[in-house]
A and B are shown apart, each in its own frame.
Chain A
Amino acid sequence: MKNNAPGVETSTRFPNGRPENEQPPWRHDFPIDWPEDSYVARRDYAKFLVLTSLAFFVGQLSIGLQSLWRRSRGKPPIQKVAQFAQIPVGGVFPFNYPGRHDPCLLLRPAEGPLVAYSQKCTHLSCAVVPRMEQGELHCPCHVGSFDLANGRPLAGPPRRPLPRVVLEIRGNVIYATGVEERTT
């Protein structure tokens, strides 16, 4: 509060008429003048830097711990999905894998091998709808589509491919043995 407005006296600078050094301490924290309000002390700046970098460090640590925890969960169980005869050529068979709340689709395109993908769109987790004749999986929420043959995104907002369910055929029965999460 050093720069007074031009042509004013200190006696009316504060409502109680006392000089600046006799003002209550809260005046220092809530100054009326803009330059003092936007002034950042060295200590405040150092505090900001330390706390921000601490927050970044904690964030990194939590990401590391999360991936450790994910690894320690182990592999998903082997689960019987369907009889081979249940799925005609061009047919779709919905199932849940690895958990009861992870919807997946088992697809049998006219050409190419049997494939299975998670049904959750990698954009915002809407359920994708297979379009066998176009050879794609369509997401109706934001008109995204994935390639039926490998699960990679073809159009729309999703950038990552659908998680692929690893299948194993033993005799006449189809088993799911794992989920392959891909980033590209």
Chain B
Amino acid sequence: MVPDNHLFFIDPNRCIGCQACVHACSECDTHKGHSMIHLEYVDRPHSVQTIPVVCMHCNSPTCAEVCPADAIKRTGDGVVQSARKPRCIACNNCVLACPFGVPKMNVGFELMMKCDMCYDRTSSGLKPMCATVCPSGALAFGTVEQFEHERPRSEPLNRFRFGQQEVTTRVRMMVPRGGQVEHLDVTSLMDDSTPSHCIPTDALVATLYRDEDES
């Protein structure tokens, strides 16, 4: 069991794009030499900023909700596991459905493989592989109290809104304390020519929630 008070924190501000987490991930025993971390470039022509993407371990995992083969399961401590090999039919539903874009389809294995927070390590008291190697602390594993003490200018958030869907995650995203709540219009970013009045305002908008926004 992963202890309830031990949480995974992602701090994109600290990411330096060194790819250490990507390579460490592939060295984890249960990952069969395949990395499950995506290192995303935010705006590659203009910035070197990167964001490590690991599984957010949702309260209502969209990947598991859409799985037609019942292959994605979550353990009792809230860690969403990789697809079960005997059940996975490689249909790509989870890859398309995940709002964070986490699951990866391994076509050769006909198996979806996703970050499982190194369950073999975290369930026996170790940190996930990526969190142990990250030199800048962009991926970190520990208690809320520890990070409130060490990083007083950041606050951990774990509520997101994607259109109508509200997602609460086990993994915390660190954002600057007191910053503005970001509303990201995904469709307008994808295609500049789309007239804004054609976009249903609440259909494809991603929002990071702050706790005081809850009514």
Contact = CB atoms under 8 A, between A and B. Distances in A.
A32 B166 contact: no
B60 interface: yes
Nearest to B2: A6
Interface residues on B, range: 20 to 34
Nearest to A9: B168
Nearest to B160: A12
Contacts of A5: 57, 59, 74, 77-78, 170
A15 B165 contact: yes
A30 B78 CA distance: 17
B4 A6 contact: yes
A99 interface: no
A12 B60 contact: yes
- The DSSP consensus for interface residues of chain A is loop
Interface residues on A, range: 10 to 19
Contacts of A102: none
A28 to B, nearest CB: 13
B169 to A, nearest CB: 8
Contact of B73 (A3, A13, A32): A32
Given A6-B5, A30-B70, A32-B61, A12 B167 contact: yes
Interface of B: 4-5, 7, 57, 59-62, 64-65, 70, 72-78, 81, 158-159, 165-168, 170
Closest CB pairs A-B (n = 7): A5-B78, A8-B59, A6-B4, A12-B168, A32-B64, A35-B76, A34-B73
Given A4-B78, A6-B5, 5 more contacts: A5-B59, A8-B59, A33-B75, A33-B76, A34-B75
